[in-house]
């Protein structure tokens, strides 16, 4: 049996690098939390986290306010520093694949944001319909409004797929350029 490959370094997938002191206090976005949830899920799937550890860190990820809070949740699962050649190996195709994965994460988040509240509302609606004691008497199906509201984001993500992927790829290219420029201007290690 071959060992599982280590988790990919996720730092470039955050909106800002949470390892940098100047960005660590910035507020975390849902996208940043999705990156951490992905690393935690992979760590759990590979057996590097127990169920309790996964549940605890997942809950803390959802409650995290800043990028620095998110960083601490995955430090023991991924390298803190990228390999010296991490950015140069990133071809345009690699960046495109990362951009597509980012969009897929947004799509999963939008679908979950539709399904969970909708399911809860439909259960409440059904329970209220049965609660009158005279059998099921459906009233106005108000959960449809919840579905419309939460479904709008899913539709937006699905309809604007190409734009979102292109925007993410441009962001990754800028990030790669900055990393390479920073490396070119660093003094040589002596």
166: Cβ–Cβ under 8 A, 6 or more apart, which residues?
99
- Closest by CA to 110, choosing from 63, 41, 169, 158, is 158
87 inside domain: no
Residue 12 C-beta-side C-alpha neighbours within 13 Å: 25
16 inside domain: yes
Domain span including residue 57 = 11-74
DSSP three-state, residue 179: helix
Is the overall model pTM greater than 0.85, yes or no? no
Tell whether 112 and 38 lie within a shared domain: no
70 inside domain: yes
Number of domains making up the chain: 2
5 inside domain: no
Tell whether 67 and 96 lie within a shared domain: no
Between the alpha carbon of residue 174 and those of residues 65, 72, 97, 181, the distances in Å are: 26, 25, 16, 10
57 inside domain: yes
97 inside domain: yes
Tell whether 49 and 128 lie within a shared domain: no
Per-residue pLDDT of the chain (190 residues; tens, 9 = 90+): 333 444 456 888 888 888 888 988 999 999 999 999 999 999 888 899 999 999 999 999 999 999 999 999 998 998 876 544 444 446 778 888 888 998 999 999 999 999 999 999 999 888 877 766 666 667 788 899 999 989 999 999 999 999 999 999 898 888 888 877 665 444 444 3
- Closest by CA to 113, choosing from 161, 158, 151, 157, is 151
């Amino acid at each position: 049996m071959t060992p599982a490959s280590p988790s990919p370094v996720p730092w470039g997938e955050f909106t800002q690098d949470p390892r940098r002191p100047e960005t660590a206090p910035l507020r975390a976005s849902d996208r940043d939390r999705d990156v951490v949830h992905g690393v935690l899920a992979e760590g759990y799937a590979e057996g590097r986290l127990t169920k309790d550890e996964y549940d605890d860190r997942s809950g803390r990820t959802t409650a995290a306010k800043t990028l620095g809070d998110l960083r601490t949740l995955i430090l023991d699962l991924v390298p803190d520093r990228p390999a010296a050649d991490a950015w140069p190996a990133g071809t345009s195709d690699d960046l495109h694949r990362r951009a597509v994965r980012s969009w897929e994460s947004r799509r999963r988040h939008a679908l979950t944001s539709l399904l969970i509240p909708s399911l809860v509302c439909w259960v409440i609606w059904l329970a209220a319909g049965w609660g009158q004691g005279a059998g099921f008497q459906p009233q106005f199906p108000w959960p449809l409004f919840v579905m419309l509201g939460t479904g709008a984001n899913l539709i937006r993500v699905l309809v604007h797929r190409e734009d979102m992927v292109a925007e993410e790829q441009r962001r990754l290219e800028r990030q790669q350029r900055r990393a390479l420029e920073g490396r070119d201007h660093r003094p040589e290690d002596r």
